[in-house]
Amino acid sequence: MPETQSGPTPVAAAAAGGGLLAPPAGDVAESLYEHGLEVRARSQWAYARKRFLRHRLAVASLIVVTAIFLCGVFANFIAPHSYSAIDLNYLYHAPTVKSAHYFGTDALGRDYFSRVVYGIRTSAKVGLVVALLSTVIGMFVGGIAGYFGGWIDNILMRITDLVLTLPLLPLLLTAAALLGQGNEWRVTLILAFVFWTNLARIVRGSFLSLREKEYVEAAKAAGAGDFRIMFRHMLPNSLGPIVVNGTLTVGTAILVEAALSFLGFGIQPPTPALGALVTEGQDNPQAWWLTVFPGLTLVLIVLCVNFVGDGLRDALDPTQRRVRA
């Protein structure tokens, strides 16, 4: 039996029926749910949440990735050392519990655990801001193109095609080398200005079909302005793909930023970034800990973000009413 058909749980029904826990208003509810056969009204979001929570891997990944990001946010409380402090007793040392060098130290004696934790802060910041910014840009471009159509659509989509047909990584490398100057905010902006194209196409497609819906016509008849219709009526109905795409962008942005920093065109030292930390491993192939720890942190973050994205995709698909078992 599909989950949507089930009434209140026996315990809840008993509690309500006993009148012990139920507030006075509960009496009305009690009479409505009396036989346990009625369908409880749930909003789209309640369904989505329920479907997402059933996706165990996605929930676990969400917890892990939140924990990792929180480590980055509270880096100054979690890191046992400063990311630039030099410990001359432990130069180039393998991981050790003594004096808290859990991930070892680099050639200058800087604690690698602290550097990784601060690197997470940088990566998380870049990933989240890029996802947010590119989502906003993509939403506006795609929304305007899809809603107005005609020559506006044509121009905006040609621009989107332009960005999409260019080879991504070389373009980013050139932009980062010339405009980035190793500054994390500049790099973030450059990434955001390239990453919006995917979403713009998705939103445009969804707006093209929503434009013909009756409720849009009704809103128009009621005298709503274009932007009110777009953002108040149509946007909430295409929110599913936007959220999924935004989530996956976090992972991609973190990966691409790491690649840029790894090649030396992204975020420059002294700001610790996970990609740049892996570079130190390239320079010291004997010290495996310099590659493995920041590298695995990256893999773990991106893996979890991808799983969360998958879970959200399953959860937010409105054609899928059945709760995933």
Partner 1 sequence: MITYIIRRLLYSIPVLLAASFLIFSLVSLSSDPLASVRGNPKFSPDTLVHLRYHFHLNKPIPVRYAYWLKNFVLHKGGNSLLTNQPIWPDIQRVAGNTAQLIITSETLAILLGVGIGVYSAVRQYSFFDYSFTTFSFLGFAMPVFLLALLLQIAFTDIYLHWHVRLFYTSGLNNPGQGTFSFDRLQHLALPIVTLLVISFALYSRFMRASMLDVINSDYARTARAKGVAEWKVIMRHVFRNALIPLVTVIALNIGSLLGGAIITESIFSLDGMGHYFIDRLQHDDLYAVMAWLMLTSVFVIAFNLIADILYGFLDPRIRYA
- Span interacting with partner 1, options 22-30, 47-55, 62-70, 274-282, rule CB under 8 A: 274-282
b/e per residue, 45-57, with b = 16+ CB within 10 A? eebbeebbebbee
Pull the structure tokens for residue 120: 């997470």
Q: In angstroms, what is the minimal distance from the CB of 33 to partner 1?
A: 38
Other beta carbons within 10 angstroms of residue 117's beta carbon come to 25
Q: Cβ of residue 255: shortest distance to partner 1, in angstroms?
A: 5
For 64, other C-beta atoms within 10 Å of its C-beta total 17
Q: Which is nearer to partner 1, 234 or 258 (CB)?
A: 258
Q: DSSP readout, 12-46?
A: HHHHHHHTSS--TTHHHHHHHTTTS-SPPP--HHH
Q: Which residues from 108-167 bind partner 1, rule CB under 8 A? A: 158, 161-162, 165-167
Backbone angles phi, psi at 151, to 5 degrees: -70, -30
- Among positions 72-101, residues that touch partner 1 (CB under 8 A) are none
Measured CA to CA, the distance from residue 61 to residue 33 in angstroms comes to 36
Binding to partner 1 (CB under 8 A): which residues in 278-297?
278, 281-282, 285-286, 288, 291-292, 295
The residue (of 24 and 170) whose beta carbon lies closer to partner 1 is 170
d(CA 325, CA 317) in angstroms, rounded, equals 15
Nearest distance, CB of residue 99 and partner 1, angstroms: 26
Q: Which is nearer to partner 1, 21 or 179 (CB)?
A: 179
Residue 186: strand pairing partners: none
Of 299, 244, 305, 246, nearest in space to 51 by CA: 244
Tell the smallest beta-carbon distance from residue 171 to partner 1 (Å): 7
Closer to partner 1 at the Cβ: 14 or 169? 169
User: What is the pattern of x (binds partner 1, CB under 8 A) and - over residues 173-212?
Assistant: xxx-xxx---------------------------------
State the nearest-atom distance from the C-beta of 19 to partner 1, in Å: 48
Secondary structure string (H, E, C) spanning 37-83 = CCCCCCCHHHHHHHHHHHCHHHHHHHHHHHHHHHHHHCHHHHCCCCC
In the bound state with partner 1, the residue whose beta carbon lies nearer, of 129 and 254, is 254
225 neighbors 231 (Cβ within 8 angstroms): no
> Rounded to whole angstroms, how far apart are CA atoms 311 and 48?
10
Inter-residue contact 64 to 112 (CB < 8 Å)? no
Judged by CB under 8 A, which of 86, 136, 259, 323 binds partner 1? 259
Among the listed residues 58, 65, 131, 302, the single contact to partner 1 using CB under 8 A: 302
Under the binding rule (CB under 8 A), the answer on residue 59 touching partner 1 is no
Q: Which residues bind partner 1 (CB under 8 A)?
A: 158, 161-162, 165-171, 173-175, 177-179, 251, 255, 258-259, 262-265, 275, 278, 281-282, 285-286, 288, 291-292, 295, 298-299, 302-303, 306-307
